[in-house]
Amino acid sequence: MAAFSGVPRSDDEVGLLINGRTAGWEYMLYAGVLAIGMQRLEQKYVDYSLGYAPRLGSMVSRAEFMDFIMAQLSDLMVMVDSLTKVFTGEVLEDALGAPGDGGDPDRIVHAASRAVRLYEDMLLWAERIRGHAMRPQQRRVAEMLVLFADQPINELRAFAQRLTARVDELPAALAAGGDEPFTIIDTVTFEIADSVSHEFMTGLRELYSDSGPRAADDERD
């Protein structure tokens, strides 16, 4: 059987790639684990994009809301920080190997799998927030908070797509006699836009202002 060469799209192809280890296999494996993981989460991403979440059957009360929001924000900050660490040059080189050196398949799968897991964690984080019952003005603030994850989620998704497209061209480049070492030169940046943060803080202040929308909601209670 000929050795597999290319970005794997299934677990079977991952196994064939690891066994054959054709030139450039490290990057093909890393891109493949990302691509397979992202594809398995596609329906969750579609739900996220639509703003859908299954109901959890629990209500966030007025007294609990601030603690709830701060806890969710803290969780997201930990996730984004972990994502940044997963994509450091040291972590990638440790897995893929320095240019010209071989990589470690277990470390490659681990590094890519951690990125996929954090992507899933952010989708579940948004789903969890949206799944709670809450008053209308609280819902508006909660949706502003969900937007904090929008850039990291879409940046990671776009990176995986860009990397897969680039690595898909690697076998042909190698067959044509290319001898330049392949490296991941793509820059991945995870951030929360100032405009999103400002809108969230404004909504939170209005919610807890005596003259803001909370007061109108109170009158209806």
Q: Within 10 Å of residue 25's Cβ, how many Cβ atoms?
A: 24
pLDDT band at 4 (very low <50, low <70, confident <90, very high): confident
Mean pLDDT, residues 134-162 taken together: 95
**Looking at the chain, how many residues does it have?**
221
Please state, in angstroms and rounded to a whole number, the distance separating the CA atoms of residues 221 and 189: 44
For residues 23 and 26, what is the distance between their CA atoms, to the nearest angstrom?
Answer: 8
Residue 216 pLDDT class (50, 70, 90 cuts): very low
The answer, yes or no, to whether residue 1 has pLDDT greater than 70, is: no
Burial zone of 152 (CB within 10 Å; 0-12 exposed, 13-18 middle, 19+ buried): buried
pLDDT-based confidence at 221, cuts 50/70/90? very low
Percent of the chain with pLDDT over 70: 90
Is residue 172 predicted with pLDDT exceeding 50? yes
Q: Which of 67-71, 80-84, 148-152, 183-187 has the lowest mean pLDDT?
A: 183-187
Query: Residue 211: what pLDDT?
Result: 44
| 159-176 average pLDDT score | 90
User: Can you tell me the distance from the alpha carbon of 20 to that of 120, in angstroms, rounded to the nearest whole number?
Assistant: 30
pLDDT on residue 171: 87
pTM listed for this prediction: 0.89
